[in-house]
Structure 1
Amino acid sequence: MSTPILQFGTSRFLQAHADLFVSEAMEAGKALGPITVVQTSGDPARAGRIGALSAPEGFPVIIRGLEEGRPVERELRVRSVTRSLSTSSDWAEVRRVFVEEARVVLSNTGDKGYALIEGDSVDGVPRSFPMKLLALLHARFRGGAMPLTILPCELISRNGEVLRDLIVDLASRHVPDATFVSWLSERVIWGNTLVDRIVSEPIEPAGAVAEPYALWAIERQPGLTIPCEHPAIKVVDDLTPYERLKLHILNLGHTVLADRWLKDARPEAECVKEILADAAIRTELEAIYAQEVIPGFRQHGLGDEAEVYVATTLERFRNPTLDHRLRDIAGNHAEKIVRRIIGFKDWCPGVAMPKLSAIADR
């Protein structure tokens, strides 16, 4: 069966996000078609996952958490993945599928997915994901230059533009063909996206446990092809409000709680839901949202959206089945304060933020 969706990455996040959305859309007749999943790392420890992802019976995704204040748990079966490959052992087939079948390419390659490797080239099987992608795009260009949409799902602001600029730069140095470089910019659609879902644990050998909330925002542009229609997918004119809401409400809230956890030397294994069981801390976070964060968003005409997202975020934080440890959130704390809190203050000059300022100035 032809697979118009080609996915780089086997993460449990994608299993409970894009793979699930496409599976549900296929049942409703609203998807381009099934998915080929490609493992890019070559990690032998994940070999079992490769086969399980494309098993005919599918793999489970358990949705567990709170919806409108009520506990929910349901198990879904994901059957959208019909082929699974590895770049380390199936490079020729990966290239064929990329050239002949793909209409949409997805990626979720981890924190260092865009990192380059010294001495890497487009010859043979490249080692880094960007060089692999460049080699495959060059093969598609030589094989007919059909247009293509690439939707990266890495947690990088303007991720489509970042990936495009990286690939175009690599092409100019490793494939010095002006026509190819022009094709990359003009006929390949590099979508900016934002993904938002907490996937709390894996199910072996394939599958995941995820919260009910899910969002995949994709910025509209001419020529864009989306993999499916789904209630969690929003095609929007401007991704910026969604990025701001996530960064300065959900992420900012995490950093406020992590700061309190560090300052008070609270229990090592404490989770978000547990620290919010402390009434004083919960009241403090709610006051920051109501008195400092929402007024900041209201200054930009996003007050109503912020109120809704705050309510959703607090419900997500209280998810009784999610063990989101503060020690993990507290990693790179100083850097997160700069992006999430100081960045918010700079975005909203003139709005009084005494509690956030106290954290920023500590």
Structure 2
Amino acid sequence: MSAPRLSGVADITGPVSLPGYEPSQHGVGIVHLGIGAFHRAHQALMTDAAIAADGGDWRIVGVSLRSTEIAEALNPQNGLYTLIERGEEGTTARLVASVSRVIAADPAATLEALCDAAIRIVTLTVTEKGYGIDRLTRLPDLAHPAVAADLANPETPVGVLGLLTAAIARRRAEGAMPFTVLSCDNLPENGALLRDGVVGFARRIDAGLADWIAANIAFPSSMVDRITPASTAETIAEAERQTGRQDLAAVESEPFIQWVVEDHFPSGRPLWEAGGAIFVDDVVPYERMKLTMLNGSHSMLAYSGFLAGHRYVRDVMADPAISALVQRHLTAAISVLPPLPNIDLVHYAAALLARFRNPAIAHETFQIAMDGTQKLPQRIFQPAVLALQADRDIRPFAFATAMWMRYCLGETDTGVTYALRDPREAEIRSVLTAGSRTASTISDALHRLPRFFPPELVASSKWRRIVETILESTLKKSVVDSLVLEAALR
């Protein structure tokens, strides 16, 4: 029989660490769009530490834009949840109290929350595809369903750009303090990109409002890093062992956590330093390091590992061939990065390898592989262009691209089929069905996807030749055999 449901700090009977404050004594100051597992293991945790250290009305109103699942898990628990950290040295747990409540799939209620004068910061983890911004033009993507709907009905927005623009407009009219908008997604210069998207959206409705947003709303950039696997039945079971209560919102993560933030918060901010956040004048170099090294190698090992039959990252790293290729990828990534103050890139690479090998973390390759068309441009293609221009080794980036292309076929060597879980999945399947499935035709079709590959790569015969050679090996031999051959070349 399950234990009673978690609902208050006083319920706790287990060894979990408790919040260093009384939640009811602190009001809200943040709305977070996209309250998934990552946010609860990262920004919400640091906000919890900030309130414990420095007080303040900084609790969070979470928003799940499409699903009711998180709200159904958190609201009956008064926002409380267990964060479990699993490392090689053991497992620890902490009860987090920074979330006040969750709004679920309710655009009108979300807009009301954003317009609350008490809200001083809006944070976001909506994934790359959730913004509705064309990364090449840095303007709203008019083909994005939410963008199109919100431009047609700006008073009743449902998407990120529409909600932010409508809230800013109403707060301006009511004389409320402008909030700061902080993106926490893996996008290059995420703050500047979101600023351009919001200003571009507003300009299609009201040019004066667009100019006011550009002059008055802060959009600092940030770089986030913490491996957060999807919760499992074992996560819930461990939370019950730690708390003595049933916790349906429990999450788990690795011990490592990093948050580098541009320090520009005109309306104030929590003391996130208490949770380990680093504030800097320019996030871009740190962001580029993380996207190129961690995220790039993560995508590469996810596609190759999944196709080789490995469910978890830790299993991939136990495969000698793929492990060697991950090390090769990190070496290539370092070669295109500038020196970074106070960061040793070789040591950072070694730390990444150790994190990937962590036997306590069950991070699924299939989870990492989703949304490839949103991730590869900044993780793989951008460093590939830099390597090509500098006449450095492009093969590691071409290998990652070829493995993504092989993944796009939607079937393993053993005949297991799967969904790509990509916003452009229908388009990908259409172009691949239209022609024969040779390496050259697959490569050509995917290189022709609009607004995806940089023109420098599309036009490079050297790049195309390497990609197609690797892809052909996976088609004529097998993925496993191709990985062994590729590792022998490093």
| Common fold: TM-score over 0.5 | yes
Q: Which of these residues, 98, 111, 120, is aligned with residue 115 of structure 2? A: 98
Higher strand share: 1
Per mean C-alpha deviation after superposition, the further-off stretch among 309-318 and 204-213 is 204-213
Q: How many residues align structurally?
A: 345
Look up the match of 1:22.
47
Segments of 5+ residues of structure 1 without an aligned counterpart are none
1:49 aligns to 2:73 (yes or no): yes
Per mean C-alpha deviation after superposition, the further-off stretch among 215-224 and 183-192 is 215-224
1:138 aligns to 2:169 (yes or no): yes
1:186 aligns to 2:228 (yes or no): no
Residue 40 of structure 1 and its aligned partner are, at CA, apart by 2.6
Alignment RMSD (CA, Å): 3.1
Please state whether the residue corresponding to 2:360 is helix, strand or coil.
coil
CA 1:28–1:186: 2 relative to 1, 3 Å: same
CA 1:108–1:334: 2 relative to 1, 3 Å: closer
Please state whether the residue corresponding to 2:218 is helix, strand or coil.
strand
Q: Which of these residues, 298, 301, 305, is aligned with residue 257 of structure 1? A: 301
Please state whether the residue corresponding to 2:293 is helix, strand or coil.
helix
CA 1:312–1:30: 2 relative to 1, 3 Å: farther
CA 1:18–1:328: 2 relative to 1, 3 Å: closer
Residue 209 of structure 1 and its aligned partner are, at CA, apart by 0.5
* AA of the residue aligned to 1:122: P
Look up the match of 1:162.
193
CA 1:340–1:150: 2 relative to 1, 3 Å: closer
Look up the match of 1:232.
276
TM-score normalized with structure 2 length: 0.62
* Greater gyration radius: 2
Q: Which of these residues, 15, 37, 48, is aligned with residue 12 of structure 1? A: 37
Equivalent pairs: percent with the same residue?
26
* AA of the residue aligned to 1:82: S
Residue 318 of structure 1 and its aligned partner are, at CA, apart by 0.5
Per mean C-alpha deviation after superposition, the further-off stretch among 151-160 and 270-279 is 270-279
CA 1:259–1:106: 2 relative to 1, 3 Å: closer
Look up the match of 1:84.
102
Look up the match of 2:85.
63
CA 1:318–1:188: 2 relative to 1, 3 Å: same
Residue 322 of structure 1 and its aligned partner are, at CA, apart by 2.1
Segments of 5+ residues of structure 2 without an aligned counterpart are 1-25, 133-145, 237-246, 400-462, 471-490
Higher helix share: 2
- Given that 1:61 and 1:78 are in contact with CA atoms closer than 8 Å, whether structure 2 keeps it comes out as yes
Please state whether the residue corresponding to 2:94 is helix, strand or coil.
strand
Look up the match of 1:217.
260
Q: Which of these residues, 370, 393, 406, is aligned with residue 353 of structure 1? A: 393
After superposition, residues 188-337 of structure 1 pair within 5 angstroms as 188-202=217-231, 203=236, 205-221=248-264, 223=266, 225-230=268-273, 231-258=275-302, 260-261=304-305, 266-267=308-309, 269-286=310-327, 289-290=330-331, 292-297=332-337, 300-302=338-340, 305-330=344-369
Look up the match of 1:122.
154
Please state whether the residue corresponding to 1:100 is helix, strand or coil.
coil
Q: Matched residues in 2 for 1:344 and 1:253: separation? A: 12
CA 1:183–1:146: 2 relative to 1, 3 Å: farther
Deviation string for 1:8-32 (max 9, x for gaps)? 2221111111111111121111665
Larger relative contact order (C-alpha < 8 A, sep ≥ 6)? 1
Look up the match of 1:72.
90
- Given that 2:189 and 2:287 are in contact with CA atoms closer than 8 Å, whether structure 1 keeps it comes out as no
Q: Matched residues in 2 for 1:251 and 1:285: separation? A: 11
Residue 199 of structure 1 and its aligned partner are, at CA, apart by 1.0
Q: Matched residues in 2 for 1:81 and 1:320: separation? A: 30
CA 1:314–1:36: 2 relative to 1, 3 Å: same
Look up the match of 1:151.
182
Residue 281 of structure 1 and its aligned partner are, at CA, apart by 4.2
